[in-house]
Structure 1
């Protein structure tokens, strides 16, 4: 039986698209006391961007600490705080920032309508009730979180996304002007998440014509940007925002692979952020993606990026084993990489050796 995928509801695209936010929320503000909950990366606290947000008197704004990957306990605490203060859910939860803030927005909106802790819903199709309206506005491009069916969270036991038909945002605002101030090398690391998405989507057992078509165009845009010798131009900002969008969509019809599975283990134990974590892992995956890893290293050279080395040198053998444990739970990713008999290929020893190289 074919899965009938749920996509993002609406996409507002173009320079200065942020100025139309109020038009998006106006039809939702139908009842007295209606309010919008804005979640922003704390990087923007005191920034002029805040003044451009069309807030009404009843609206709430919370600045999110994204030092660590998104956590279920933060989602749960925020929902409890908002409900205690407001007495009812917002008409929209808005995530303005990078992938972590957008994932927080997508998760928080679901927990206004589904009981218990968000950790209960880490997995596929565990959410039973549609969440409140959700709007996401990326201010850095690469994660694909703006269109992804997954909201990735680290819980008390695992790092695993909430994924299903109720997860995608209802509204995406793609404004290329918003990503021009992203600092180096964060710009590169996050963009490489997009590049790696495409590599993994295009190389595996769940590859489809639909996913491959989207992934190839996204990959081509990444190559244009990061092999050009000048990735930081307005034109390349626009290309990257589109590449992120297409790369996120490609995963709906395919799957991530070895890099993401290993990176999840890395992040669970170390807290290393997803973008840079993926780059650290991908640099060791010549066995899986030889041509693409070679191209990735060329991109690093052209863009003068030096990856951190020896990031796991102070971690114990028990820590390494826990990373391996986490990576091995991601069976659907490994089945995409190596087929239904993947366990005969992806051994503990292989994964342990890869982590030891980091």
Structure 2
């Protein structure tokens, strides 16, 4: 679990005092990985507490995080820092938070990021790292994984060393998020809860968090009686609770199949989950019905036909990626999932998207 978290409007202003006790020396910088969408947003960049040798690295999130991107960031940090950094601070959405976690791990572990894609492969404690989400829903601020696309697969670095040492939850930072992104990222949280609550890994701990986040998502996306501030506050809490729910259980069908879309087509995580979930009535009938109501209420037009021109080889690639995520299928279907989740079944589902 994340050992330290603060929540509240304006809590971003406490960042300097949070970081100060963790500075190793004047020559050991804090590295701020910041979504480059904030390049001209002085409300965020001007408030980052730079001192001594600290450095801001603006990172593009046009594509999903890649293992090669992690390796490049690590090399740049090593070559431009006089000493090992004091810490890595990620400021942005799920992609930036995942990159921050991965870079913190790779600064203390040998090899390349792709070597650690899997479960419990990390040997050394990560560098001190802090997560500051600027959009809510991914759960990346609390999860024990950092999802990366590698040369062979899309898979997280799942380990006890992955979670942040400190998280700052400031709902004010979510101001200005585009409507579509707000919806797709929030639905990532909703889908986390559905897959956790209907999974075979479910336990009392994960259910408590999942029930809370699920209820908040319904209130935010269906009731429509909240102020903007209430919506921001509650969605940030839904994201946290949804992330905690899957941290103690697992996700399921939508995530497994969306990884295939992301690996082959570069589909962003939130929208990829939505594209898949829209066709999963067989697995989550009541929740897919609710999801369609949310789409209609917020006038969201999702992409269609993204798989219509794919070759047999392309389908095989997506299916290979999806089937490689065995814990997700076991959680969704049970230990005998291979009897029902066949290549033919997955191709039929992908063909609808």
- Give the alignment of 1:266-285 within 5 angstroms: 266-285=261-280
Deviations 1:47-85 (A, max 9, x none): 111001111131111111111110000100111111111
Q: Give the distance between the partners of 1:141 and 1:179, measured in 2 at CA.
A: 7
Runs of 4+ with deviation above 4 angstroms: none
Alpha carbons 2:64, 2:269 under 8 Å: kept: yes
State the match for 2:28 in structure 1.
34
Q: Give the distance between the partners of 2:199 and 2:97, measured in 1 at CA.
A: 27
- Within the candidate set 18, 25, 29, 1:24 is matched to 18
State the match for 1:3 in structure 2.
none
State the match for 1:311 in structure 2.
306
**Deviation at residue 184 of structure 1 after TM alignment:** 1.0
Give the length in aligned residue pairs: 352
Deviations 1:130-166 (A, max 9, x none): 0110000000000000000000011110100001110
Distance 1:231 1:41, change over 3 A: farther
- Give the alignment of 1:188-267 within 5 angstroms: 188-229=183-224, 233-267=228-262
State the match for 1:107 in structure 2.
102
Alpha carbons 1:39, 1:64 under 8 Å: kept: yes
> SS of 2:179's equivalent?
coil
Give TM-score, length-normalised by structure 1: 0.97
State the match for 2:346 in structure 1.
351
**Deviation at residue 30 of structure 1 after TM alignment:** 4.0
> SS of 1:294's equivalent?
helix
Q: Give the distance between the partners of 1:113 and 1:129, measured in 2 at CA.
A: 6
- Give the alignment of 1:116-127 within 5 angstroms: 116-127=111-122
**Deviation at residue 182 of structure 1 after TM alignment:** 0.4
Q: Give the distance between the partners of 2:214 and 2:342, measured in 1 at CA.
A: 30
Root mean square deviation, CA, Å: 1.0
Q: Give the distance between the partners of 1:164 and 1:82, measured in 2 at CA.
A: 23
**Deviation at residue 230 of structure 1 after TM alignment:** 6.0
Distance 1:234 1:140, change over 3 A: same
**Deviation at residue 204 of structure 1 after TM alignment:** 1.4
Give TM-score, length-normalised by structure 2: 0.98
**Deviation at residue 228 of structure 1 after TM alignment:** 2.0
Alpha carbons 2:24, 2:86 under 8 Å: kept: no
Unaligned runs of 5+ in 1: 1-6
**Deviation at residue 235 of structure 1 after TM alignment:** 0.4
Q: Give the distance between the partners of 1:157 and 1:39, measured in 2 at CA.
A: 26
Unaligned runs of 5+ in 2: none
